């Protein structure tokens, strides 16, 4: 039963929230929906380099973020970032990496990323959280479907605790907007 609840919560959370959505979740009035409009999403700054009008130098976008490697190793690194964030209970990072999947879940009525992942974190045992902080991914066990799409089965997670499909799950990462994101 707990596995089903965790899977449902993970699915809800993994549907697309990020720092913009998290801020909106915190700032939104209770009677207003917290989903950004299509125009608000279109106005988000991109991570692609731009030329600064003042200096003429190229910047890497918000906070100097460089594009992530569009490689199998880049996808693994991003997924490990997600796993470590789960272990640290870093909901902002978790929601950033899982933004597209969390958005899908929210659109299906499962709620915003932040409160959903807060519920998920309550279902992860302290031993599992500790293991997630240093978890790695076995590159031999992942499946590269296309250059932009990688499957991360739960069996690929290497940690000091055991994880099953019902308590961690398998994920699809896709390369979108110069980085890897959990989309399913």
Structure tokens, 157: 């997670």
Q: How many residues does the chain have?
A: 184
Where is pLDDT greater, at 16 or 98? 98
Helix ranges (H only) for the chain are 2-13, 19-27, 38-43, 72-88, 91-97, 99-107, 113-123, 126-132
Work out the pLDDT band at 38, boundaries 50, 70, 90.
very low
How far apart, in whole angstroms, are the C-alpha atoms of residue 134 and residue 159?
Answer: 7
Domain map of the chain by residue range?
A: 2-26+65-182
Where is pLDDT greater, at 55 or 138? 138
**Among candidate residues 61, 42, 119, the one with its CA nearest the CA of residue 86:** 119
How far apart, in whole angstroms, are the C-alpha atoms of residue 28 and residue 99?
Answer: 18
């Amino acid at each position: 039963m707990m596995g089903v609840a965790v899977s449902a919560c993970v699915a809800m959370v993994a549907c697309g929230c990020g720092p913009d959505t998290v801020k909106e979740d915190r700032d939104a009035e209770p009677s207003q929906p917290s989903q950004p409009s299509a125009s608000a999403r279109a106005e988000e700054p991109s991570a692609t380099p731009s030329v600064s009008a003042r200096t003429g130098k190229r910047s890497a976008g918000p906070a100097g973020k460089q594009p992530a490697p569009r490689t199998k190793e880049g996808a693994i690194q991003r997924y490990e970032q997600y796993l470590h964030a789960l272990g640290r209970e870093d909901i902002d990072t978790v929601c950033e990496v899982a933004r597209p999947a969390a958005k899908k879940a929210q659109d299906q009525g499962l709620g915003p990323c932040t409160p959903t992942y807060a519920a998920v974190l309550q279902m992860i045992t302290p031993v599992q959280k500790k293991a997630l902080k240093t978890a790695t991914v076995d590159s031999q066990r992942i499946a590269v479907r296309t250059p932009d799409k990688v499957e991360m089965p739960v069996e690929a997670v290497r940690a000091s605790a055991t994880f099953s499909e019902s308590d961690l799950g398998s994920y699809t990462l896709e390369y979108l907007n110069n980085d890897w994101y959990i989309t399913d």
